[in-house]
Structure 1
Amino acid sequence: MYDRILFPTDGSDPAESALEYALQIASEHEATVHILNVADTGRDSVTAIRGEVIDVLENEGQRIVEEAAQHARDDGVPVVTAVHQGDPHEMIIDYSQRSSIDCIVMPTHGRRGIHRLLLGSVTERVINTAEIPVVAVNPEGVRPLTYPPRHLLVPTDGSRGAELALTEGISIARATGATLHLLHVVETGSLGPDARSVLKEGELTEQANEIMTEATERTEDSSLDTITSVVKQGDPSKVICDYIDENEIDLAIMGTHGQTDFSRYVMGGVSSKLVRKSPAPVMWVRDPGSESGDVSGS
Structure 2
Amino acid sequence: MSRPIESMLIPTDDSEGALAGAKHGIALASRTDADVHVLSVVQVQDSLADSGDIAFAPLEENAEEAVEAIAKLARSYDEELDITTAIRRGTPFQSIREYANRREIDVIAMGTKGRTGLDRFLLGSVTENVLRTARTPVLAVPPNAGVSTIDDMTFERLLLPTDGSDGAAIATEWGIALAACLESMAHTLYSVDTTRLTGTQESGEILDALERRGEEAVERVRERARDDGVSVSGSIATGSPANAILTYATDHDVDLIVMGTHGQTGIGQWFLGSVTENVVRQADTPVFCVPVSANSP
**Band of TM-score, shorter chain:** 0.7 to 0.9
Aligned-partner Cα distance in 2 for 1:29–1:271: 25
Task: Tell me if structure 1 keeps the 8 A contact 2:242–2:276.
Answer: yes
Aligned counterpart, 1:293 = none
1:177 matches 2:180:
no
1:202 matches 2:208:
yes
Task: Tell me if structure 1 keeps the 8 A contact 2:264–2:273.
Answer: no
Aligned counterpart, 1:10 = 13
Aligned counterpart, 2:259 = 254
| Residue 57 (structure 1) shift | 1.6
SS at match of 1:167: helix
1:239 matches 2:238:
no
Shift of the 9–289 alpha-carbon distance from structure 1 to 2, 3 Å rule, reads closer
Aligned counterpart, 1:162 = 168
Matched residues, percent identical? Answer: 34
Aligned-partner Cα distance in 2 for 1:21–1:196: 47
Q: Which amino acid aligns with 1:259?
A: Q
Stretches of 4+ aligned residues off by more than 6 angstroms: none
CA RMSD of aligned residues (A): 2.3
Q: Which amino acid aligns with 1:140?
A: N
| Residue 289 (structure 1) shift | 8.0
SS at match of 2:25: helix
Aligned counterpart, 1:48 = 47
1:283 matches 2:282:
no
Q: Deviations over 1:35-79 (max 9, x none)?
A: 1001112xxxx4512444422221211111112212122221331
Q: Deviations over 1:149-195 (max 9, x none)?
A: 11111000111111111111111111111001010011111111222
Aligned counterpart, 1:109 = 113
Q: Which amino acid aligns with 2:128?
A: E
Aligned counterpart, 2:133 = 129
Aligned-partner Cα distance in 1 for 2:294–2:105: 18
Q: Which amino acid aligns with 2:284?
A: P
Task: Tell me if structure 2 keeps the 8 A contact 1:151–1:250.
Answer: yes
Q: Which amino acid aligns with 1:71?
A: L
| Residue 247 (structure 1) shift | 0.5
Aligned-partner Cα distance in 2 for 1:35–1:235: 37
Q: Which runs of 5+ in 2 are unaligned?
A: 266-270
1:79 matches 2:77:
no
Calculate the TM-score normalised by the size of structure 1. Answer: 0.86
Calculate the TM-score normalised by the size of structure 2. Answer: 0.86
Aligned-partner Cα distance in 2 for 1:268–1:172: 22
Task: Tell me if structure 1 keeps the 8 A contact 2:263–2:273.
Answer: no
Aligned counterpart, 1:67 = 69
Q: Give the length in aligned residue pairs.
A: 276
| Residue 206 (structure 1) shift | 1.9
